[in-house]
Structure 1
């Protein structure tokens, strides 16, 4: 029976990841890029400005309570989920299986996919709903309210809860305990129990406690890791031109000795790139919807910047460390062990410990962010407090389970769930994209007039019909307070 299930999952993953998702991701990413007039590049300066404003208002929010979390805190929640084992262990796996060329395809999927991230996060803001903590929303909500297809939202909610809330959290815990066992010889079970205990303290405190924790962890961990990577790059500065040449040449199969050829290179790069930056997958919009902003496009911009932060900055840092040390060619090393060996070869034995600490911060923040994605989708399906309590307990159990066990079929099923939810979300945002583009047009018009853009439903022709207006509850109020 298990063999039959493994075969079904294997065939499903091969079909989904090798053909369907690659075509849809790139095609829609290019469509969104051209339709939005290259939003991910054209408004890059505006993204940094808004992120800075959001960080300032996040600090001042201690004095003034907002309806939701600040835009910077929402950015940190999504970045916490994005920046995890995929950035350290996932990049190592992609390079070991697909060669240096996989890095090129990771970059490409990020640059193209950033437009998809803008669309989905803007839509999440438009169709968000009010709750006791402020706001919540995401793909399930815009599927129901924008497309009038609640069944589609329910299917998406189930897939994201199973993959993010359970399996991916187990995978994050697995990588944490493996790294600490390698660095310090610590018991994986004891480490898993400690992780579960700290996770419980945070997740039972609601989204605002989650936001405050990741707001502290994410900037510190990202800056520290990038600085260490910069040290490695500067140390090997003369090798950088050859490194870029190797990445580009390998991306198209030139001189490759990897079994499977260019297909394996592309698949590994795109698959691991999507797993890491999550552009178009439908996960980050759940965090984007929580933000308290004056215009949906503002959070769309900030979440787009999250894709660049994840892939162009942090994934590249890992790739450079690995390729400059050539540790991916070492036999007997897997996943995070490749990254640990790579950094240790460049900075000494403390590199092994540093990566273990980075993994703890990266992966633990992902556990918290992933948990929230499941919570908001359970609220969509059924707001019963008892069901939410059961979900929280199961998440903690999966953290402990993932710390000590690794069953391949579980991770393969997670890939299948992730691919399926991404496909459903991409279909939804393709159907609703005209609303996001109309919102972008409205934002740009107000900026040209010298205004700080404020979203008004009357300005969006696509939302003027009665049915649409009834489904947009958070932008119809006359009086609102904002974090940005």
Structure 2
């Protein structure tokens, strides 16, 4: 597994994120207003879901056990400084998420009446050299199906079962059966049901978790300044206690941020392709915002709870030497977060973490089901057996949930890391090869925004001639105009990849507030 999560991957993820950040002039900062506006306005359709539901599905995949157990593991093996590198990865990773999701919108397809897309689709259509594109697209689809049906569910199911057992002593086998049944009840209902459930559960669970975290941190307010100083000193090896482990600090921070936020993996792009928007970058921006919610908000809350209450140990992974032991005998994982809550709210930590772990992990499992469906649809789109194969793999995923409930934590994390590492490498290589189209699509969005327009995508203006989805015209009574009211390409048919235009929105319409 070492080569999957080697230094070259860390460098490539940060380099790709930094390139898009600089090339697009910090869109994850400049366009925060657009991110929020799109989440508030984005509508759905019979073929797609709303921008908010697509965000919720992506957040369902992003906000999972990595936000609780993953952060604790990063601190346990990388020390407090790992938090800094999680933040860095989130900021540059947001630019990668914008690009991934924008490309997913450009080359999404309609499959069985619903939108499907993501890396496999944009790799095949976007990379000009077919001898490169097809192997990469198939490799991404196959590795994603493997990761979301076999490897990924293990870590989610294990942490649900472990936290429920710690809180109430429930047999992991019972927990696994219940979670598997609930999973089937939702995921076999298709994309719409997954979107609706995530749209309700994700905001509720994230808000409750963040509010409790703020209470814990507020009750330890005197320790907060020194805690932040420790994070920044440790991040660059300035803390003597963590001298000689700078590589581990960076690696654990970046690796856990990637696992949590999925920046660079292409996972969120698959949810983005299901949305109905008038311009690809609109959905790209909303997914860029999801990285902030996941890592800069939820993961940070976990880290601050653990560090402000000194509910952690630090062990050098290479030597096994214990550097810090604030909670003797407690292994890195959900127990750190439970201990943090228990330190200020006795008797509340274990039950709350068990409930939070269930919702976080369950919505991740739902997203896994959708991602598996999307990639099976890609692999089977020319075969009538596609839906049958999808159901079979969903049942395999349910079986992985049941079996994962019994596995050891080390084994579960190893499986998850292998699955994510496989398709992340494929996606990163593809993003490097797709820099040209990514820049063209983003420049098209920026041009329309600078002109005061509500952007609608015309693929040909971005030099793209093979966007699969339908194109639409403005209402018959509408006449596209500039702000001065002069006709602007009034005789042209407007083209948009995303089906029918949003109500009262067409190319040339002034941007409304």
Fold in common (TM above 0.5): yes
Among 448, 454, 457, the alignment partner of 1:455 is 457
Instruction: Answer yes or no: is the 8 Å Cα contact 2:216–2:344 preserved in 1.
Output: yes
Q: Are 2:102 and 1:114 aligned?
A: no
- Counterpart Cα distance in 2 of 1:26 and 1:300: 18
Q: Which residue pairs with 2:181 in the alignment? A: 197
What is the aligned partner in structure 2 of residue 351 from structure 1?
349
Q: Following the alignment from structure 1 to structure 2, what is the Cα–Cα distance between the partners of residues 399 and 51?
A: 32
Aligned to 1:47: 35
Question: 1:320: how far off?
Answer: 0.4
Deviation at 1:482, TM superposition (A): 5.1
After superposition, the Cα gap between the structure-2 partners of 1:102 and 1:222, relative to the gap in structure 1 and judged at 3 Å, is same
**Is 1:263 the counterpart of 2:242 in the alignment?**
no
Alpha-carbon displacement from aligned partner over 1:125-167 (angstroms, at most 9, x marks no partner): 0000012342100000011111131221111111111112221
1:8-407 aligned at under 5 Å gives the runs 9=1, 13=2, 15-54=3-42, 57=43, 65-147=45-127, 148=130, 149-258=133-242, 261-329=245-313, 330-334=327-331, 335-383=333-381, 384-406=386-408
CA distance in 1, matches of 2:155, 2:409: 10
**Residue 237 of structure 1, CA deviation:** 2.1
Asked if 1:473 is matched to 2:492, the reply is no
Q: TM-score, normalised by structure 2?
A: 0.86
Task: Output the CA distance in 2 between the equivalents of 1:158 and 1:260.
Answer: 39
Whole-angstrom distance in 2 between the partners of 1:352 and 1:144: 47
Return the alpha-carbon distance in structure 1 between the equivalents of residues 173 and 209 of structure 2.
27
Q: What TM-score, normalized to structure 1?
A: 0.91
CA distance in 1, matches of 2:302, 2:72: 8
How far, CA to CA, are the matches of 1:259 and 1:246 in structure 2? 13
Question: SS at 2:276's partner residue?
Answer: coil
Whether the 8 Å CA contact 2:98–2:287 is kept in 1: the answer is: yes
Residue equivalent to 1:422 = 424
**SS at the partner of 1:135?**
strand
Distance 2:155 2:445 in 1: 40
CA displacement, residues 262-321 of structure 1 (integer Å, 9 cap, x when unaligned): 111111001101000011111111111000001000000000000010000000000000
Alignment gaps of 5+ in structure 1? 1-8, 464-468
CA deviations over 1:170-227 (Å, ceiling 9, x no partner): 2101101100100111111111100001101111100110000000000001111111
Task: Give distance in 1, aligned partners of 2:60 and 2:501.
Answer: 23
Give the direction of change, closer, same or farther, for the CA distance of 1:453–1:399 in structure 2 (3 Å limit): same
Looking at secondary structure, tell me which structure has more helix per residue.
1
8 Å CA contact 1:69–1:208 kept in 2: the answer is: yes
| Cα distance, 1:158–1:145 mapped onto 2, change above 3 Å | same
1:257 alignment partner, SS class: helix
Residue pair 1:117, 1:300 contacting (<8 A) in 2 also: yes
CA contact (8 A) 1:97 1:258 kept: no
Could you tell me how far apart the structure 2 residues matched to 1:93 and 1:199 are?
27
Structure 2 Cα separation of the partners of residues 272 and 33 of structure 1: 21
Distance in structure 2 (CA, Å) of the matches to 1:18 and 1:439: 32
Q: For the residues of structure 1 that align with 2:38 and 2:198, how far apart are their CA atoms?
A: 19
Q: 1:190 to 1:472 in 2, by over 3 A?
A: same
> Does the 8 A contact of 1:139 with 1:282 survive in 2?
yes
Contact 1:173–1:399 (Cα < 8 Å) also in 2: yes
Residue 347 of structure 1: CA displacement?
Answer: 2.1
Q: 3-state DSSP class of the match of 2:6?
A: helix
CA contact (8 A) 2:237 2:244 kept: no
Residues 326-362 of structure 1 show CA distances to partners (whole Å, capped at 9, x for unaligned) of 1112132231111111111122211221111111110
Separation in 2 of the partners of 1:260 and 1:402? 36
Structure 2's unaligned 5+ residue stretches are 314-326, 475-498, 504-513
Sort the Cα spacing of 1:411 and 1:218 in 2 relative to 1 into closer, same or farther, 3 A.
same
Instruction: Name the larger-Rg structure.
Output: 2
